[in-house]
Amino acid sequence: MIELKNIKKSFGDNVVINNVSAVMEPGKANLIIGTSGSGKTVLMKCLVGLFEPDSGDISYDGKDFNQMNDDERKELRQKIGMLFQGSALFDSMTVEQNVMFPLDMFTKDSYTDKLKRVNEVLERVNLQDANKKFPAEISGGMKKRVGIARAIVLNPKYLFCDEPNSGLDPQTSLVIDKLIHEITKEFNMTTVVNTHDMNSVMEIGEHIIYMYQGQKEWEGTNKEIIFSKNKLLNDFIFASEFLQDAKDMRMLEVKGKIANDRNMDDLLK
């Protein structure tokens, strides 16, 4: 579990994060959504220690991140996996070498043990035949899966994903969403996903935080979000007529189900 209390972050006179509090729960996909400039990326960077908040507290399973010394932070970072927006693979390394990189950095395991672990995670993301390929030889979706494999190779407790579907087609995006969700459940990880992809929101958004101008504007689940009465959130979600029509149809379906359930109850009386 990751807990944020009254996080504030400014750059000069520009307040980017303003008094944000939230709890990121284990075993769930915790999504941070919002338009460009809403503060969601800065918030994630504060969570992983790339930025120091001006005030407020961040705790990992009850341990204050801001009060940790360098050794304690290093130990914590070994429990953190990161999937970067552009995958951030090393072009000069093979898939196998990219995934092995965290093991080389943080463990003293033998090469045989490291290779065994690399093969395990590559198989988990369905890339068991890609060991010797270079990033230039694989597709965008495969690069994302290599990035996920590298992010989980150290068995992290916490997984951060920055725009995991950026640059991917809708079908591949669904594959990545499903994989992130499955891994989160399988390893009971606290997963934090920074996204503006509404398909991701509806597919895996078990806990959603909507950011607007640096503040937490709304919080809820993917089952609650379409019924929100928050105008700013609705303007963000239903930016097109197509999505607004989808919302209206979904609400009619739910209302119809409620009416049918009530009719059934009357019949059973």
In this prediction, residue 35 carries a pLDDT of 87
Q: For residue 74, what is the enclosing H or E element?
A: helix 70-77
In this prediction, residue 111 carries a pLDDT of 95
Q: What is the 8-class DSSP label of residue 12?
A: T
In this prediction, residue 269 carries a pLDDT of 46
pLDDT one-digit tens code per residue, 127-136: 988 999 999 9
Structure tokens at 240: 């097109």
- 29 alpha carbon, distance to own chain's centre: 6
- Answer whether residue 69 shows pLDDT above 70: yes
Q: d(Cα 10, Cα 216) in Å, to the nearest integer?
A: 16
- 206 alpha carbon, distance to own chain's centre: 11
pLDDT one-digit tens code per residue, 46-59: 999 899 999 999 99
Q: d(Cα 244, Cα 202) in Å, to the nearest integer?
A: 14
State the amino acid at position 135 in one-letter form: P
- Cα→Cα distances 190→89, 142, 184, 200, 207, Å: 23, 23, 7, 17, 11
The CA angle 243-246-252, to the nearest 5 degrees, is 145
pLDDT one-digit tens code per residue, 139-174: 999 999 999 999 999 999 999 999 998 888 888 899
Cβ contacts of 98 within 8 Å, gap of 6 or more: 89, 90, 135, 146, 150
